[in-house]
Structure 1
Amino acid sequence: MAADLSTTSYALLGLLALHPDDAAEGLTGYELKQRCDQTMRYYWVSPATSQVYTELARLARLDLVVATTEAENGRRSTRRYALNDTGRERLLSWLSTTEPDFPVLKHPVALRLMFGHLVGSEQVEKWLSAYIAQLEERTAELRAVRESLGDDPRLSSPARVADWGLAYFASESAISAELRTQLADSDAERVT
């Protein structure tokens, strides 16, 4: 029986398969962590560096990736990980035979808004304004990621996820702006 893998393990297998040009050479744990930070952090938790290395070692032990070690100009060695056929089959099986869980919304702003009546509208407005500013920053970052993906058909799936993320950020901005308007209208009604 195949060992159970975490969603993070499958995400790492998928990221190893993401760019076909990297398939033969593989990626270092550091490069894979960078790829996590550049992609997954917009819609999933980007694993800690230690978790990336732990999962890669586990995937190598399970013979789902090939680990190679190379010396770098007499300095310490670098370990690269490449997806092998067994790992690709396992990833494809997971993608095609399991259903994704319904997302659990862990939204720190929404949690605080739930208790906004305890701190007053001025504080709530600050939270919403700060969140809208963060959304603008993340939108700019994700837009740059989307542009870097271009129209390469091999990257059409990550491009679609980036488009989804951009639409999500736009929706969150609109919702937050509407909440700010409702808050201001509510405050105005109390004054009059």
Structure 2
Amino acid sequence: MTTSHITNSHRESTGSHFLPGSAYAVLGLLSFGAELSGYELRQLALNSLRFFYWTPAQSQIYRELRRLSGLGYVTGREVRQDGRPDKVAYSITESGRTELTRWLEQAPVAPPAIRYDTALRLFFGHATTPDRLRALVAEHRAHLERMLTELHAVRAMLEGDPTLALPRIVADWGDHLYGNELAALDQVAAALTGLGPPSPSGRVTVPPGTVRPLPGQDQA
């Protein structure tokens, strides 16, 4: 196997500007020290970051690598492989480590965000039937149980390596979050069983007068 080097242009970021979180996710994965191809970075993200932050498409990984390469935060090395397509292995540069540390120490903490497709559908559930809403919650629970099982497998792989103490802490955090969400889903499912019979049209109805403008909204 032979190698050749790829040179990258370098441009410093200045002031209080920060890159998107996905860029720091890629920098962080490379900061563990291994040279990784774009494909390998995505596989690593799927086995770690997807449980709490990001499930990237392959195109997103390559877009971030191009951005980081242009800034001089990563460098790529072309690797020729016998009997397999050549690949580019990326590593973090010293300026990349400096930028990762700057983000860790100076970037403001974003407020927690929940973005669940099931919650959105449930919120507008008056446009469907109670049976469909209960099925949505059951499917959401099945996804969550599968994620929790997979997270337990990842957590087991992290055991025993003192250099992976922080990823283990995050995995434990995720374990607690998923467990609490399962309990919350039980409450949601119980509440849905208390819904009255559907209207003759088969739709969930909202009693008159219960939909009012939110604070700050103009009165019609």
Q: Is the 8 A contact 2:151 2:171 kept in 1?
A: yes
CA distance in 1, matches of 2:162, 2:134: 43
2:28 to 4, 11, 14: 14
Identity of aligned residues (%): 34
CA distance in 2, matches of 1:2, 1:93: 11
Residue 90 (structure 1) shift: 0.7
2:142 to 133, 140, 162: 133
CA distance in 2, matches of 1:111, 1:82: 40
TM-score by length of 2: 0.77
Q: What does residue range 22-171 of structure 1 map to in structure 2 within 5 Å?
A: 23=33, 25-73=34-82, 75-171=84-180
Q: Is 86-95 or 125-134 further displaced after alignment?
A: 125-134
Q: Is the 8 A contact 2:130 2:195 kept in 1?
A: no
- Residues paired across the two proteins, number: 183
Residue 186 (structure 1) shift: 4.1
Q: Cα distance 1:76–1:132, how it changes in 2: closer, same or farther (>3 A)? A: closer
TM-score by length of 1: 0.87
Residue 103 (structure 1) shift: 2.5
Instruction: Name which one, 1 or 2, has greater alpha-carbon Rg.
Output: 2
Residue 75 (structure 1) shift: 4.7
Partner SS for 2:47: helix
Partner SS for 1:26: coil
Residue 61 (structure 1) shift: 2.2
Partner SS for 1:27: coil
CA distance in 2, matches of 1:123, 1:57: 44
Q: Give the gaps of 5 or more residues in structure 2.
A: 1-11, 198-220
